[in-house]
Amino acid sequence: MTDIGTTLVARYALTAPLPHDLTNVAVWAAEDQVLGRQVRVVLPSGPHVAATLDAARRAALVSDPRLLRVLDVGVDRVADTLGGPGTEVPYVVTETIPGRTLGELVAAAPFSAGVARTIVGEAAAALESARRRGLHHWALRPEAVRVVGDRVLVTGLGVDGPVSGLEDPDGDVGSRRDADALVGLLYHLQSGRWPGHELEGDWLLGDAPRPAPAPRSRDGAPVGLDQLAPQAPGDLVTLCAATFTTGTGPRTPAEVVAALEPWAALPGEAPAAPAPATSTRTAAPTVAATGAPARESVLHPGATSAATGGGAAGALAGAGVAAAGAAPVVRDPSGVAGPTLAGPGATASAPAPAGPPRQAAWAAPSGTVPPNQEPGGAGWGGPSGPGGRVPGGGPSPFQPEPPRFSRDRLPGLRTRSSGTASTPPASSSRSSPRAWSSRPCSR
């Protein structure tokens, strides 16, 4: 039916098969002969083709830099080599997939709690963008999330779930499944184990990479995150327990975002800062007040990198380490620069006393632990958090107030400043005046 050299809609020439982990699909590398670019072509099959094409068309309308773009969806008739009437071939064209999957990265070493918080928070914000447009992933797993430099990329939206038969007409079911999978990723990134049962179905190929399952307690629930990752902060331990033990965890990706924020930007790998030309001796690595080594790996802060510096200049700011002659700046999720962790006066000849490595950049800009990341605070398990307790006992329901999203995480959200009237766009002449003005209605 399809082979190397097959061209779909006189445009996409298949060049080589690509590895994948799903049944009922074939994935090809292809060349877009109209625009002269490389693309990825997914050929769905099985009983859910129509639902897959419909979901893929809707996914193409979701614009978020953290979601893999769907470029084209359709059905083409491929001629039979024996002169027959040909075969109809459904197809979904996406961007090529760069970066490495979370499964590949975790296989090297578990992530620190701070990096895990950032990756899952970004993935949750991306899926919330899709949820607000009626789309759910349904098949979120380590192989469907990638790290590309300093950003997170979620793949498979509109394809993986429908083609695997995992879709449900009830959108609340999809929201809860995505939220559970996001917390599962949080557990997996820090422990190397998977806490749920979603990856045990036959919708994945038999030889597909699967994370090792988490050990189970006597009641069948996965053991606490702190038993596998002793350094995990209390709010993440409580969040995982609420999701997989008591069933009172987040119900939507938006609630996952609210439980995890604030988080820092994911530091990307950058060339190491060159040593001053006047230096006549090798300087000792600069260590910030946290005691984190200067050549610490960005994605796995517990492991040191090679002699190349392992991405020092931009990465050191994310790891809380001062490069020679440069002061790293911590940024909060809104992008506002916070206080530096080491001033320009810090020199390589006077390192701070060594201490246990930890990620200071994942704390609040003031150097203190944010309230939602401190046990007993305003986080998921705190008395005023969505997973906390209320007088009389029992978990409190998630407050219906909007989560604290930032515009860069969820593009398209419109915010209003108190006491300031915004100017409506020219095309919104029929919009309600209350949406654009703080003046009381005359009626």
> What ranges do the domains of the chain cover?
16-94, 100-264
Which pTM value belongs to this model? 0.65
- For domain 100-264, the CATH superfamily is Transferase(Phosphotransferase) domain 1 (1.10.510.10)
Q: Residue 79: what pLDDT?
A: 81
> 217-274: per-residue pLDDT in tens?
988 899 999 999 999 999 999 999 999 999 999 999 999 999 999 998 887 643 344 4
| 366 half-sphere exposure, CB direction, 13 A CA radius | 5
Q: What is the 3-state secondary structure (H, E, C) of the chain?
A: CCCCCCEECCCEEEEEECCCCECCEEEEEEEECCCCEEEEEEEECCCCHHHHHHHHHHHCCCCCCCECCEEEEEEEEECCCCCCCCEEEEEEEECCCCCEEHHHHHHHCCCCHHHHHHHHHHHHHHHHHHHCCCCCCCCCCHHHEEEECCEEEECCCCCHHHHCCCCCCCHHHHHHHHHHHHHHHHHHHHHCEECCCHHHCCCECCCCCCCEECCECCCCCECCHHHHCCCCCHHHHHHHHHHHCCCCCCCCHHHHHHHHCCCCCCCCCCCCCCCCCCCCCCCCCCCCCCCCCCCECCCCCCCECCCCCCCCHHHHHHHCCCCCCCCCEEECCCCCEEEECCCCCCCCCCCCCCCCCCCHHHCCCCCCCCHHHCCCCCCCCCCCCCCCECCCCCECCCCCCCCCCCCCCCCCCCCCCCCCCCCCCCCCCCCCHHHCCCCCCCC
Residue type, 38: Q
Q: What is the 3-state secondary structure (H, E, C) of 239-262?
A: HHHHHHCCCCCCCCHHHHHHHHCC
Q: Residue 184: what pLDDT?
A: 96
Alpha-carbon gap, residue 388 to 404, rounded angstroms: 18
Alpha-carbon gap, residue 305 to 310, rounded angstroms: 5
408: number of Cβ within 10 Å:
12
Alpha-carbon gap, residue 19 to 112, rounded angstroms: 29
Residue type, 388: G
Q: Residue 172: what pLDDT?
A: 94
Q: Judge contact between 151 and 175, C-beta under 8 A.
A: no
5's CB contacts (< 8 A; 6+ apart) are 13, 14
Q: Residue 385: what pLDDT?
A: 52
Q: Residue 130: what pLDDT?
A: 96
Pick among 3.40.50.880, 1.10.3210.50, 3.30.200.20, 3.30.1540.10: CATH of 16-94: 3.30.200.20
Q: Judge contact between 175 and 252, C-beta under 8 A.
A: yes
Alpha-carbon gap, residue 266 to 7, rounded angstroms: 39
Q: Residue 2: what pLDDT?
A: 77
Q: What is the mean pLDDT of each run of 10 residues along the chain (443 residues)?
A: 86 95 95 97 96 96 96 91 78 95 93 95 96 96 94 96 92 95 96 89 89 91 95 95 94 96 76 44 40 36 39 34 35 38 39 38 40 48 47 39 42 44 46 42 48
Q: Judge contact between 385 and 372, C-beta under 8 A.
A: yes
Q: Which of 145, 341, 356, 342 is nearest to 253 (CA)?
A: 145
Q: Judge contact between 128 and 257, C-beta under 8 A.
A: yes
User: Which own/partner contact pairs does 376-382 have at CB distance under 8 Å and 24+ positions apart?
Assistant: 377/235, 379/235, 379/238, 379/239, 379/259, 380/235, 380/238, 380/239, 380/242, 380/249, 380/250, 380/259, 381/234, 381/235, 381/238, 381/239, 381/242, 382/235
Across the chain, which distance is largest between two alpha carbons, in Å? Answer: 79
Q: Residue 206: what pLDDT?
A: 87
